[in-house]
Amino acid sequence: MSEVQDIRREGPRLSRRDFVLRAAASSCGLLLVPTPFMHRLRAAPASRGTMKIGVIGSGNIGGTVGLQWAKAGHELLFSSRHPDELADLVAEAGPKARAGLPDEAARFGDVVFTAVPYAALPQIGRDYAPLMRGKVVIDCSNPYPGRDGEMAQDALDKGVGIASQEYLPGTRLVRAFNAINYRSVTSEAHRAGEKVGIPIAGDDPEALQITSDLVVDAGFDPVVVGSLARAREFQPGTPVYVKNMTAAELRKALGLDG
C-alpha cells in the first residue's frame, strides 16, 4: 500500500508536517510551498516515499518527465494505445517501470500524469475519469487551436485549469509541467545552482503538496501559483510560458512576492 493511501486511510492521525500544511491551507485557502532543498539526480524520493505513477500519453513530455520520476525511485506505468511501442522507454526507466494501456495507468497510479494532445482530453475524461476519481491527476496537456481546433481556443479563453477540471471530473487536478519544453526537462533537470521553476496550480492543498514533491524529484523547483483558475497565468501565450525561468524569476513575473 502506498504512503499516500496510508495517509488517506488514517484520517485524523496527522504528522506535525501535515498538520502545519493543512492549517496553512485553511487560513489562506492555498498551500504555498517553500523552495525545496537541492536534490541530486539520483536523490531519494520525496518525503511521501515511493509512489505509483500512471502516465497517460507517453510521448515527448510524458516520457521525459516520467523518466525523471523513475530515476527518483518511483514506480511507473507508461501507457499508450500501442504499449509494445514503449519498450525502449521502459528499458531506459528501469526495473520499476512497465508499459500498459491507458485504463491500466488510470487504475495503477496513486498519481496519474496526463500528457496528451488537448483534443484527446475530453475522451480521456469520458473513458477514464471514473477510474481516477479522488486521485491526484497532474495535467500538462496544452491546447493549441491550430492543432486541436475550436475546443482549444475555448479552453484558453476559459482558462486551461478550469477547462481541464471540467473534462476530468472528480479528480484532484493540478496543472504542472505544461510550461516547460520536453527538451528542457532533459537538459535542465537537477542542474547546478538555481533550478528551473515549474509553476503549479490546483484547488486541493494535499494534491499541490504531492505535485510539489514530484516536481522536486524530477529535478525542478515548484512554484505554487494558486487555484486552478490561476493556471491561465502560465498557459500557452503567457509571458512565462516555456521561458525556463528560475523559481525567483517566476514568482516575480507572476506577482507572488508581494
Average per-residue pLDDT for the chain:
86
pTM higher than 0.75: yes
Q: Which CATH number fits domain 44-253: 3.40.50.850, 3.40.50.300, 3.50.80.10, 3.40.50.720?
A: 3.40.50.720
User: Per the structure block, which three cell numbers stand in for 153?
Assistant: 481556443
pLDDT in the model for residue 258: 64
pLDDT in the model for residue 191: 97
pLDDT in the model for residue 42: 31
| Least trusted range by pLDDT, from 2-6, 93-97, 159-163, 236-240 | 2-6
Whether pLDDT at 62 is above 90: yes
User: Per the structure block, which three cell numbers stand in for 183?
Assistant: 527538451
CA gap 119, 150 in Å, rounded? 9
Residue 232 — φ and ψ, nearest 5°? -65, -20
Fill in the amino acid letter for 156.
L
Determine contact, residues 128/92, Cβ cutoff 8 Å.
no
Pairing of strands 52-56, 172-175: unpaired
- Nearest Cα to 124, choosing from 154, 90, 166? 166
pLDDT in the model for residue 17: 36
DSSP for 132-152?
HTTSEEEE-----HHHH-HHH
Pairing of strands 172-175, 197-202: antiparallel
Q: What is the pLDDT of residues 4-48, one digit of tens each?
A: 333 333 333 333 334 333 333 333 333 333 333 222 223 333 446
Burial 212-226 (b: 16+ CB within 10 A, else e): bbbbbbbbbbbbbbb
- State the residue for C-alpha cell 480521456: 124
When pLDDT is averaged across residues 98-113 and rounded to a whole number, the result is: 98
pLDDT in the model for residue 49: 85
pLDDT in the model for residue 140: 98
Q: What is the pLDDT of residues 120-142, one digit of tens each?
A: 999 999 999 999 999 999 999 99
pLDDT in the model for residue 48: 62
Kindly give the interhelix angle for 160-167 and 121-132, rounded to the nearest 10 degrees. Answer: 60
Quick one: what percent of the chain has pLDDT higher than 70? Answer: 81
When pLDDT is averaged across residues 184-203 and rounded to a whole number, the result is: 98
- Residue boundaries of the structural domains of the chain: 44-253
Determine contact, residues 208/152, Cβ cutoff 8 Å.
no
Whether pLDDT at 3 is above 50: no
Give 112's pLDDT tier (boundaries 50, 70, 90). very high
